[in-house]
Amino acid sequence: MEEKNEKQLSWLMIALIAFNFVWGLGNVVNNFAQQGIVVITSWLIILVIYFIPYSLMVGQLGSTFQDSEGGVSDWIKHTSTKKLAYFAAWTFWVVQIPYLAQKPQTILIALGWVFQGHSGIVDELPIPLLVAVCLAFFLFILYVSTKGIRVLKFLGTVAGSAMFVMSILFILLAVGVPLIKPDLQLATANMDKLETYIPKFDFAYFTTIALLVFSVGGAESMSPYVRKVKNPTKEFPKGMIAMAVMVGICAVFGSFAMGMIFDSNNIPQDLMRNGAYQAFAVLGKHWNIGNVLVTIYALTQFIGQTATLALSIDAPLQIFLGSADKEYVPRWLRTRTKNGTLKNGYLLTGILTGALIVMPALGLKEIDTVVVWMTNLNAIVSPMCFLWVFVAFMFLYRHWDRYKNAEYKYISNKTLGFLMGLWGFAFTAFACILGMVPQVDYAQNPSEWWFVLISNIIMPFALLGLGLVLPWIARREQKQQA
């Protein structure tokens, strides 16, 4: 009876939860800021050649290893070795560092829109002072997260649901404007012509692919929910397919809505920072409701991002160190206080994230440059964890005789399955490497271009490289105890 009660999630619930993990209005705004209206074509391409296959791979791996609680690292452990499983777990934890470092500035921007109706808080601060404020705020949330975050979990759930509603509302309101204003002049010219949506496939275009890949990733985070799904071998993959369709609809129509509001040929420099708020302000004006939508969105962002920051400190740490193998993770990092807090894990998180928060003060001079750099750094680093999904898929087909009788199979042919995993790995790596090249024109400050390029190259290797050090420390520790 207990087992029956535990498995309560349908494919639709899985699709909605996964959609919340993967999608947000920021994905629409950030990619439109980089590509303009041609991003609609980019979304369609990325959905067909990357995101849908990726979602189906996650569906197959999740249904094949439905009793695994450790997600991708367990998939690697089942199909390969404990050592590779450790590196997968480390990667999934360490890619959170740039994500955590970006949150304080996002929260401050939201706070400015709540109280001032613009992002004045960050506009008025010089970069060194802004960095200091962001660092102080992060350290405060780091401290709070060590004391328990039950209230923040509740607020985060509420804000996450509200953000989902706001994302859908944005599309509906924007697409509905021509219905109430037939003579509306769209911001982007020639939106009724096909050539408006055709990208120029040059080197600059390919440097923006990483952000698209980053925007559609995260479905693998659903793996802990597989055990709670009714008939997981059929329902979980079905939920992944439904989620992919939902993301595709929101990406295309959301980008079209952005083109109605902002001129694709003259994109504002601060669009990544303020685009979502400015879009809601324009929609509020069209629908004669003032700044109500802006205030609601800003409050939702402030509460949701604060809760997400705390949860993103604690949850990945618990997953990584909760069942860490002593062969690869030193005892001092696994040490808990009497209350169960992973004190040295929090300390390591604080040091790495704090260092990244401070970095802009060493070479960047404007807030918009900082926002763009941090967003693109996330787009370079975060997809590194997606690589392990494709590695697990390739290993699955290397041992196909063991798993070929699984109830759900995305691909039945052993060779084709391996090649599909290899394609996903190669495409993700290609996007991350090209994403290291700065997308912003730094003609007036070439030193900033070099700062961004060098930091984009060093950061992924530094974060991954630290994962090689821990097993060495663990081995020394074991030798001393022997």
Domain annotation for the chain: domains and CATH numbers:
11-481 (1.20.1740.10)
Q: How far apart are CA 436 and CA 377, in angstroms?
A: 8
Residue 174 has pLDDT above 80, yes or no: yes
pLDDT for position 409:
83
pLDDT for position 119:
64
pLDDT for position 349:
94
Task: Compare 183 and 212 and report the one with higher pLDDT.
Answer: 212
The mean pLDDT value for 166-180 works out to 88
Reported confidence tier of residue 115, pLDDT bands at 50, 70, 90 = confident
Q: How far apart are CA 49 and CA 182, in angstroms?
A: 37
229, β-bridge pairs: 9
pLDDT for position 151:
66
Reported confidence tier of residue 224, pLDDT bands at 50, 70, 90 = low
Segment 289-298, tens digit of pLDDT: 988 999 999 9
The mean pLDDT value for 261-280 works out to 91
Residue 4 has pLDDT above 70, yes or no: no
Reported confidence tier of residue 446, pLDDT bands at 50, 70, 90 = confident
Reported confidence tier of residue 2, pLDDT bands at 50, 70, 90 = very low
Reported confidence tier of residue 182, pLDDT bands at 50, 70, 90 = confident
Q: How far apart are CA 217 and CA 387, in angstroms?
A: 11
Instruction: Identify the weakest region by mean pLDDT among 186-190, 198-202, 322-326, 349-353.
Output: 322-326
pLDDT for position 138:
94
Q: How far apart are CA 312 and CA 333, in angstroms?
A: 18
Q: Is 365 exposed, middle or buried (0-12, 13-18, 19+ CB in 10 A)?
A: middle
- CA-nearest of 191, 181, 178, 226 to 67 is 226
Q: Sign (positive/negative) of CA torsion 233, 234, 239, 240? A: positive
Reported confidence tier of residue 173, pLDDT bands at 50, 70, 90 = very high
The mean pLDDT value for 271-293 works out to 91
Q: How far apart are CA 276 and CA 297, in angstroms?
A: 9
**What is the CB neighbour count within 10 angstroms for residue 430?**
14
Residue 5 has pLDDT above 70, yes or no: no
Q: Which residue is associated with the tokens 């599909």? A: 420
The mean pLDDT value for 239-260 works out to 91
Instruction: Identify the weakest region by mean pLDDT among 148-162, 182-196, 454-468.
Output: 148-162
pLDDT for position 84:
92
How many helices (H) and strands (E) the chain has is answered by: 23, 0
Reported confidence tier of residue 1, pLDDT bands at 50, 70, 90 = very low
Mean pLDDT (the chain) is 87
pLDDT for position 3:
44
Residue 467 has pLDDT above 60, yes or no: yes
Give the CA diameter of the chain: 81
CB 58 within 8 A of CB 219: yes
Residues 6 or more apart from 110 whose CB is under 8 A from it?
A: 298, 299, 301, 302, 305
Q: Which residue is associated with the tokens 């984009």? A: 456
Reported confidence tier of residue 443, pLDDT bands at 50, 70, 90 = low
Residue 55 has pLDDT above 80, yes or no: yes
DSSP state of 437: S
Q: How far apart are CA 410 and CA 177, in angstroms?
A: 41
- CA-nearest of 421, 449, 112 to 274 is 112
Q: Residues in the chain, how many?
A: 482
Tokens linked to 363: 């070479």
9, β-bridge pairs: 229
Segment 330-366, tens digit of pLDDT: 988 888 888 778 889 999 999 999 999 999 988 888 8
pLDDT for position 134:
93
Q: How far apart are CA 291 and CA 189, in angstroms?
A: 26
| Alpha helix (H) residue ranges in 287-383 | 292-322, 331-334, 343-358, 367-381
Q: How far apart are CA 279 and CA 457, in angstroms?
A: 33
CB 35 within 8 A of CB 206: no
CB 104 within 8 A of CB 138: yes
CB 237 within 8 A of CB 461: no
Phi, psi values for residue 304, rounded to 5°: -65, -45
The mean pLDDT value for 227-255 works out to 86
Task: Compare 374 and 3 and report the one with higher pLDDT.
Answer: 374
Q: Is 266 exposed, middle or buried (0-12, 13-18, 19+ CB in 10 A)?
A: exposed
Q: Which residue is associated with the tokens 């974060």? A: 463
Q: Which residue is associated with the tokens 């002593």? A: 326
**What is the CB neighbour count within 10 angstroms for residue 99?**
18
Q: Most confidently modeled of 151-155, 163-167, 204-208, 319-323?
A: 204-208
pLDDT for position 120:
65
The mean pLDDT value for 105-125 works out to 82
Residue 252 has pLDDT above 70, yes or no: yes
